Structure 1
Amino acid sequence: MPHTTLSVAVCICDDTTLTDFIPPCEIMSSANFAETPLFPEHLQAEVTYRFRFEFIAPSMRPIAAVFMPFGPSINPTKTYNDALKEGYQYDIIWVPAGPMPNMITKTDRTPQIELDFIKAQAPKAKYILSVCGGSIILAMAGVLSGKRATSNKLFFRVAEEISPKDITWVPVARWVVDGNVWTSSGVTSGIDMTLAFMEHLMGRSVAQHMRSQVEVIEHKQDEDPFGVYSALLDTV
């Protein structure tokens, strides 16, 4: 069956949050099995995309996830320097949370080479997506200027404080879409955003089948109790 393969650059560095991209990547990659019993025959023709992933980091050594040395690590497939030298344009830029901003100095701790890569890729990328504090990285790379976005409520005020002032931060949202830029709130909301993104690409029937594969309860885009929980707003 005819299909389009989208390349996905997952931007990682030390202190990244694995759950910001591993479950989403697994959901998206299920499309690669469209012509197998994983999808019923009546849906197979509707799975019009396949996905190819690259996990890009400052170096090729294993990336220490958040909470290391007590958590897992992940092996990159390419460095930012090599990716920049190659000049290949990725279709999708996926940005999980990286190192938390310095809560005392209110400064970002993202490696400059990661910001350089995102800046180089963003203008021609078909889609740019972030989960949790990944939106702070996008903000520091200049991708969110003039746009609406959201982030993990734990760092929401810090995001507002350290990022450019021409960003409209949305405090109550599981995810926000502004043009080709999708940003989500903390961790699990990234799964909700991924399934909404699959619906955007391939329709509701395919997305709902993917949802059934991972048994994720559907949430609305503005169904976000954590905005209130984190005392961002007095009422929803």
Structure 2
Amino acid sequence: MKNIAILIFDDITVLDFTGPFEVFSQAKRNNDINIFTVAEELNPIYSNGNLSINPNYCFSNCPKPDILIIPGGVGTRREMDNTRLIAWIKSMHNEVEQLLSVCSGALLLAKADLLEGLKVTTHHNVFDLLENIVPSSTIVERNKRYIDNGKIIISAGVSAGIDMSLYVVEKIFGRDRALETASGMEYDWNEITVN
């Protein structure tokens, strides 16, 4: 079974986390995926549209994830300065098999010093900010839906997180599972050749 954790925080973009959540929920067969949300504290989180979300876990009681997803949203600008959250992401990088980001979640990976020497992408409105905070060895790709750097896989904005998640389902469980998942969602998977 794969434990898949999705970090949530105030002012998160809803589809950034619900898109991947739906993909991995649809991809589950015989309880081989356990997907859950995690926040810094066990308090309701409010999205950018004021949707109230109750996290399943907080940092102190979260099961060890195999995959950690870092979504984006305007809240990432505030969370970039949240030393506890950034330290948690950095510590999780050492524990997980895969670390994924959606949209401006890449900003949090940059603040955790995890993007050195990688090719990355983000939402088109965040390219300049990301370029200003990554090391000079990091290449910001402005025309990619998602980029596979091995352990770290990064997607562009919002719906690109669904495409990336289907790609990860294919990597772990095979192409047939990914295609069945996309079909079950009635989603037109935007497959690309990744780096």
TM normalised by structure 1 equals 0.75
Query: How many residues of Structure 1 are paired with residues of Structure 2 in the alignment?
Result: 193
| CA separation of 1:190 and 1:167: change in aligned 2, threshold 3 A | same
- After TM superposition, the structure 1 = structure 2 runs for residues 1-236 of structure 1, keeping only pairs within 5 Å, are 5-32=1-28, 34=29, 50-67=32-49, 71-80=50-59, 82-83=60-61, 89-98=64-73, 99-101=75-77, 109-221=80-192
| Aligned 8 A contact 1:176 1:221 in 2 | no
How far does the alpha carbon of each residue in 1:82-116 deviate from its partner, in whole angstroms, 9 at most, with x for none? Answer: 14xx7x532111100141437xxxxx645222111
| Aligned 8 A contact 1:8 1:54 in 2 | yes
How far does the alpha carbon of each residue in 1:141-179 deviate from its partner, in whole angstroms, 9 at most, with x for none? Answer: 112122111100111111111233332111110000001
SS of the aligned residue for 1:30 comes to: helix
What is the alpha-carbon distance in structure 2 between the residues aligned to residue 18 and residue 50 of structure 1?
A: 25
Q: Which residue of 2 aligns with 1:232?
A: none
Query: 1:25 offset after TM fit, Å?
Result: 1.3
Query: 1:54 offset after TM fit, Å?
Result: 3.1
Amino acid at match of 1:76: P
| Aligned 8 A contact 2:102 2:154 in 1 | yes
| Aligned 8 A contact 1:13 1:111 in 2 | no
Amino acid at match of 1:59: E
Query: 1:58 offset after TM fit, Å?
Result: 2.1
Query: 1:6 offset after TM fit, Å?
Result: 0.8
What is the alpha-carbon distance in structure 1 between the residues aligned to residue 146 and residue 81 of structure 2?
A: 22
| CA separation of 1:110 and 1:216: change in aligned 2, threshold 3 A | farther
181-190 or 22-31: bigger deviation = 22-31
Amino acid at match of 1:74: I
| Aligned 8 A contact 2:70 2:101 in 1 | yes
| CA separation of 1:136 and 1:193: change in aligned 2, threshold 3 A | same
Query: 1:185 offset after TM fit, Å?
Result: 0.3
TM normalised by structure 2 equals 0.90
SS of the aligned residue for 1:176 comes to: strand
8-17 or 187-196: bigger deviation = 8-17
Q: Percent identity?
A: 28
What is the alpha-carbon distance in structure 1 between the residues aligned to residue 182 and residue 35 of structure 2?
A: 20
Amino acid at match of 2:165: T
Please report the RMSD computed on the Cα atoms of aligned residues, expressed in angstroms.
Answer: 2.1
How far does the alpha carbon of each residue in 1:1-38 deviate from its partner, in whole angstroms, 9 at most, with x for none? Answer: xxxx1112211211111211112112212233x35xxx
How far does the alpha carbon of each residue in 1:47-79 deviate from its partner, in whole angstroms, 9 at most, with x for none? Answer: xx7221232212211101114xxx312101222
Query: 1:119 offset after TM fit, Å?
Result: 0.8
Extract unaligned runs of 5+ from structure 1: 36-48, 103-107, 224-236
